[in-house]
Amino acid sequence: MNGHVSYSVLQPASEEEGNTQPAQNALKDVDGGALFVLESKGNWQHAGFHLTTSIATPAMLTLPFALRELGWFAGILALTLCAGVSFYAYTIISQVLEHSERRGHRFLRFRDLGAYILGPWGYYTIGAIQIVVCLGCVIGSCIIGGQSMKLIYGIYDPDCTRPLSEYIGFFGVIMLLLAQLPSFHSLRYINLASLIFCLGFALCVVGGCIYAGSSSQAPPKDYSVPGTPVSKLFGVFESLAIITTAFGNGIIPEIQATLAPPVANKMFKGLLVCYAVVMSTFFSVAISGYWAFGNQAAGYVLTNLAPKDGPALVPSWLIVLANTFILAQLIAVALVYSQPTFEIFEGRSSDVKQGKYSMRNLVPRFILRSSYVVFATFVSAALPFFGDINGVLGAFCFTPLDFVLPFLFYSATFGPSRHTSRFWIHWGIIVLFTLIGFLGCISSIRQIVLDAKYFKWFADLQ
């Protein structure tokens, strides 16, 4: 075992939920990141809140555009496939973690599990990919949150000339305050509110699309796939990457680490909560948006409801309400994806003997977390076109974490026989999603090249 890896060592856990003895003996030689940030105190409902916040994000508002590039049949098929495979992948990696716990090892971090199965290179590679994923999600949340703030303010004060960077700064200040919450577990009620906000903005968007699509101002409904053969091909790649990334998570072990041991079946219940929200929102938003706007569906469906170059197709209050829900949910999303980085910070800087709230640990925690938020906010303001870059990061990072490694880890742990259908299904998924990730990277890089002429430091994007 690699000497750099820290993980909790458990006595073999009882299958009985009522047996709490493992929880009392759980942490041995554990660092501050595991003890303070990944604080293992939650129940399955809390896991459901965390999972929903990490997956059911405003990224779903790009799904009508993905259907535009695929058409009805292929689009719905791709959505269904990604939903099923992602749920299955998250379930089996949870099973790998539970199996390890029963055998005396509770892995609290993705990189620890990677080191145990793949060796030292797994530890550092998975850790680096996770840091990139989490930082990208935080930056993306800051940008979209700033855009939502600007849009809301602009409706009430059309003459306002504040640049986007100022609104991103406001979002960063809110993040700076809430980032001081000490642990992942302390976000549980914020993430419950996030779940409600997710249902709220999805309902607003679906209602808005139905209203706009039924009105006399609705654009003609054309469901043919536009473009040249080459652009259509790259459009398919881009759409598959969008759908795959929308179901991305990348921090399943860290979320499972927040559960009080023994964790048997708790994650599965949390995933059921999460996917009840995911299935109801993702499919309703994708279908209603594509139905209303066809091949004119924009990359962000709210742009269709309130176009920049024409009158809004829905009442202003609906746009304000939807963006308010989005803004509030994005704060929770940014906080969730900050936790793995905060865990690394506190694993390196904290002294567990001094206690979570000692000055010895509070001061470095405040400095490191605040510096991270300031850095993410600055990058968001300076590079508001980061969404294009995030497309590459999503295809390159979410795909291995969510659609490749779970199946490799399952094979290494349980060793399914080559003569079983499960073995070939798993390898079929690995090959398919590796290809999707590779093609998505190519498509996203192509889009960056096409949009490069519009890139500008501190650009005042709408």
Q: What percent of the chain is predicted at pLDDT more than 90?
A: 59
pLDDT of residue 13: 35
Which residue, 364, 380, 422, 336, is CA-closest to 173? 380
Which of residues 268 and 385 earns the better pLDDT score?
A: 268
Q: How far apart are CA 386 and CA 381, in angstroms?
A: 10
pLDDT of residue 449: 76
Structure-token pair, residue 384:
């508001």
Burial of 138 (0-12, 13-18, 19+ CB in 10 A): buried
Which residue, 46, 57, 44, is CA-closest to 199? 57
How many other CB atoms are there within 10 angstroms of residue 247's CB atom? 26
Q: How far apart are CA 194 and CA 189, in angstroms?
A: 8
Q: Is the Cβ–Cβ distance between 98 and 355 less than 8 Å? A: no
* Residue-wise pLDDT tens digits, 220-240: 888 988 788 888 888 888 888
Helical residues (DSSP H) of 294-358, grouped into ranges = 302-305, 316-349
Q: How far apart are CA 362 and CA 355, in angstroms?
A: 9
Cα-based distances in Å from 460 to 59, 143, 158, 170: 21, 11, 15, 15
Burial of 117 (0-12, 13-18, 19+ CB in 10 A): middle
How many C-alpha atoms does 157 have within 13 Å on its Cβ side?
A: 6
How many other CB atoms are there within 10 angstroms of residue 181's CB atom? 16
pLDDT of residue 26: 40
* Residue-wise pLDDT tens digits, 10-59: 333 333 334 433 333 344 457 888 899 998 999 999 999 999 999 999 99
Residue listed under structure tokens 């249902």: 199
Per DSSP, what are the bridge partners of residue 9? 105
SS3 419: coil
Long-range contacts of 219-223 (CB under 8 A, 24+ apart): 219/293, 219/294, 219/296, 220/294, 221/291, 221/292, 221/293, 221/294, 222/294, 222/295, 222/296, 223/71, 223/72, 223/290, 223/294, 223/295
Long-range contacts of 452-457 (CB under 8 A, 24+ apart): 454/385, 455/383, 455/385, 457/382, 457/383
Per DSSP, what are the bridge partners of residue 259? 42
Cα-based distances in Å from 428 to 72, 335, 431: 24, 35, 5
Which of residues 404 and 30 earns the better pLDDT score?
A: 404
How many other CB atoms are there within 10 angstroms of residue 395's CB atom? 27
Is a pLDDT exceeding 80 seen at residue 167?
yes
Q: How far apart are CA 278 and CA 199, in angstroms?
A: 9
How many other CB atoms are there within 10 angstroms of residue 383's CB atom? 18
Q: How confident is the model at residue 386 (pLDDT cuts 50, 70, 90)?
A: low
Is a pLDDT exceeding 70 seen at residue 67?
yes
- Phi/psi at 109 (nearest 5 deg)? -135, 145
Task: Indicate the DSSP class of residue 261.
Answer: S
Beta strand spans in 72-172 (E): 105-106
Our measurement of the distance from residue 159's CA atom to the centroid of its chain's CA atoms, rounded to an integer in Å, reads 35
pLDDT of residue 7: 40
Structure-token pair, residue 153:
């303010």
Is a pLDDT exceeding 70 seen at residue 88?
yes
* Residue-wise pLDDT tens digits, 294-342: 999 988 899 889 887 778 899 999 999 999 999 999 999 999 999 999 9
Q: Is the Cβ–Cβ distance between 51 and 274 less than 8 Å? A: yes
Is a pLDDT exceeding 60 seen at residue 9?
no
How many other CB atoms are there within 10 angstroms of residue 232's CB atom? 13
